[in-house]
Chains A and B, each alone.
Chain A
């Protein structure tokens, strides 16, 4: 209580400038957090594709005719599963990867989809596990990706409502959670840009493994369809001629882009974005830091006579320095706490429609750079306050107080 009194007295006469500085730092750090979130959003896509274990793979994207969309005939870009299975028999083909969805269903009256990944797909894209899509402990469970599922823990049962062929409910065990913004691999978007952001989607989702048990169970509850695109992975030694021969069979229904090209295109796309996004927040952070340190220095200078009186009254020099340093750190702590709260609340605020965070990946990873910035600022503040206070002895001021 006594020390709080001293902190309060330290800010006397500089309250308005302290508040303004705190506000400025809060806004600057928030801009930094959002930029970090934007960068994470695009780099997650890049990493997902870059880290694939597939060496010689092509992503086949189709552009469905509007008639096909109406008729619902856009699965696998119009290629039948039998045709794909025949292509998979080709000696040059290692495997064809598809993704299925199960619809319609809802959870507590909110419509949601189930995306079904083949177990081999999870091995092919190990980054999916880093996102939280991990069925190692529960192969037939479900991984949840939505703010809808807040409070549900891994191991809990979740009841879903299905509507076709008739209304029914079914329980599934939760195998894990994906962090907001719930990024996952998807084969449902096509683009001539051929970048990874069309392979990774961020939306409310439930993910399951397409095991025999899951497929068998879901078949009686919902309609299961293939997403329109797929990946053909070729054998390591497949020649370009063999690859072209296989791709010709599907090219009239879509375009084929190698995963290597997608990775390269995405890298260029991300680099361009970084060059666009980084300079301003870095400049603002630097300016805010300089403003903070200048203010701290001015505060210390302004308070030096008062600190001399503290010394006279029995406060040792290290204790004086400590109180000054902690008071100065408080200025930086408030913006840090506000931004930390933002990181934790962002998914909820997005879910409630208060904020629109599409294109941002605000996750707890952002806490690390926030903490890093705080530590650097505090260390520099410590050096600055100690250097400033060491310049003059309290006696210098007491002689002329």
Chain B
């Protein structure tokens, strides 16, 4: 599903090269649940951004479902991101002055789906997360846990192959956080490839496989028992 070959991401900082990722080789199979751990600034989020086609790699190759993403322009990468990848972020990345329904509809508004079907699909996604009754509410009227459910509903509304979660429980209490991870695990069991960036060892242990990054390199890649 996801193949990274000698991938590097370099930023210019004060005229010098800073390696956010250095020669990363990684393969993630379809349906896998992978956690990515590391200290702050180790390159976890950069790795997720590269996998999610949010950022361009400086060197190397990225194959997604056998297709070479590295050479593609922004329009094509955005289309892939829209169709195949869903994101769940720590800060939810929701539009606060809009309704729950609008936020969940957003990826479908950029897809080729007809407008008539967009609303129906969005309501289905909300129903999957048990928050269909919140559709007309504004985001700023919801609790943290509800916001994260909306974010997950938005992430799955296009029926993506991959879900990328960057510290999805970072702004949630432990109970709500575990509930969120449970929802993501359920989605993984349905066949969605799940990659979770986390500081929390409990959450990391829930994955089938844990990758540890330090200074832009993968230092360990272990299967969890």
Residue of B nearest to A398 (CB): B93
Bound CA span A306–B97, Å? 10
Query: What string of 1s and 0s marks CB contacts (under 8 Å) between A376-401 and chain B?
Result: 00000000000000000011001111
Main secondary structure of the interface of A (DSSP, over half): helix
Query: What string of 1s and 0s marks CB contacts (under 8 Å) between B82-93 and chain A?
Result: 110001010111
Bound CA span A5–B89, Å? 25
- CB interface residues, B 104-142, toward A, < 8 Å: 105-111, 115, 118
Instruction: Assess whether A70 is interfacial by the CB under 8 Å rule.
Output: no
Choose, from A42-50, A160-168, A253-261, A312-320, the stretch at the interface: A312-320
Query: What string of 1s and 0s marks CB contacts (under 8 Å) between A303-339 and chain B?
Result: 0001011111111111100000000000000000000
Instruction: Assess whether A1 is interfacial by the CB under 8 Å rule.
Output: yes
Bound CA span A6–B45, Å? 29
Given that A12-B98, A395-B54 are contacting pairs, would A312 and B109 also be in contact in the complex, using a CB cutoff of 8 Å?
no
Residue of B nearest to A4 (CB): B115
- Which listed residue, A2, A9, A311, touches B78 by the CB 8 Å rule? A311
B54 lies within 8 A of A311 (CB)? yes
Bound CA span A97–B91, Å? 86
Contacts of A395 in B (CB 8 A): 49, 54-55
B93 lies within 8 A of A401 (CB)? yes
B102 lies within 8 A of A9 (CB)? yes
Instruction: Assess whether A372 is interfacial by the CB under 8 Å rule.
Output: no
Given that A6-B109, A394-B54 are contacting pairs, would A312 and B83 also be in contact in the complex, using a CB cutoff of 8 Å?
no
B106 lies within 8 A of A317 (CB)? no
Instruction: Assess whether B44 is interfacial by the CB under 8 Å rule.
Output: no
Instruction: Assess whether B222 is interfacial by the CB under 8 Å rule.
Output: no
Instruction: Assess whether A13 is interfacial by the CB under 8 Å rule.
Output: yes
Contacts of A13 in B (CB 8 A): 97
Given that A395-B49, A400-B91, A401-B91 are contacting pairs, would A313 and B54 also be in contact in the complex, using a CB cutoff of 8 Å?
no
Instruction: Assess whether B26 is interfacial by the CB under 8 Å rule.
Output: no
- CB interface residues, A 266-319, toward B, < 8 Å: 306, 308-319
Instruction: Assess whether B75 is interfacial by the CB under 8 Å rule.
Output: yes
Instruction: Assess whether B94 is interfacial by the CB under 8 Å rule.
Output: yes
Bound CA span A9–B138, Å? 13
- Which listed residue, B74, B87, B109, touches A2 by the CB 8 Å rule? B109
Contacts of A2 in B (CB 8 A): 108-110, 115, 118
Contacts of A401 in B (CB 8 A): 89, 91-93
B115 lies within 8 A of A1 (CB)? yes
Contacts of B83 in A (CB 8 A): 314
Given that A12-B98, A401-B93 are contacting pairs, would A312 and B75 also be in contact in the complex, using a CB cutoff of 8 Å?
no
Instruction: Assess whether B205 is interfacial by the CB under 8 Å rule.
Output: no
Query: Of residues B54, B98, B110, which shows the largest number of chain A Cβ atoms within 10 Å of its Cβ?
Result: B110
Residue of B nearest to A306 (CB): B95
Quote the shortest CB–CB distance from A313 to chain B (angstroms): 4
- Which listed residue, B49, B79, B89, B98, touches A9 by the CB 8 Å rule? B98
Instruction: Assess whether B217 is interfacial by the CB under 8 Å rule.
Output: no
Residue of A nearest to B111 (CB): A314
- Which listed residue, B55, B93, B111, touches A309 by the CB 8 Å rule? B93
Instruction: Assess whether B154 is interfacial by the CB under 8 Å rule.
Output: yes
Instruction: Assess whether B209 is interfacial by the CB under 8 Å rule.
Output: no
Contacts of B78 in A (CB 8 A): 311, 314-317, 319
Bound CA span A375–B162, Å? 44
Quote the shortest CB–CB distance from A264 to chain B (angstroms): 63
Instruction: Assess whether B81 is interfacial by the CB under 8 Å rule.
Output: yes
Bound CA span A12–B95, Å? 11
Contacts of A6 in B (CB 8 A): 109
> What are 22 A-B pairs at a CB distance below 8 A?
A2-B109, A2-B115, A2-B118, A5-B105, A12-B97, A309-B93, A310-B106, A311-B78, A312-B54, A312-B87, A313-B106, A313-B110, A314-B78, A314-B79, A315-B110, A316-B74, A316-B77, A316-B79, A317-B78, A395-B54, A398-B54, A401-B93
A-binding residues in B (CB < 8 A): 45, 49, 54-55, 74-75, 77-79, 81-83, 87, 89, 91-95, 97-98, 102, 105-111, 115, 118, 154, 158
Q: What 6 pairs between A and B have smallest CB-CB spacing?
A: A314-B82, A316-B78, A1-B115, A313-B107, A316-B75, A2-B109
List 5 additional A-B contacts (Cβ < 8 Å) besides A314-B79, A314-B81.
A12-B98, A13-B97, A309-B106, A310-B110, A313-B106
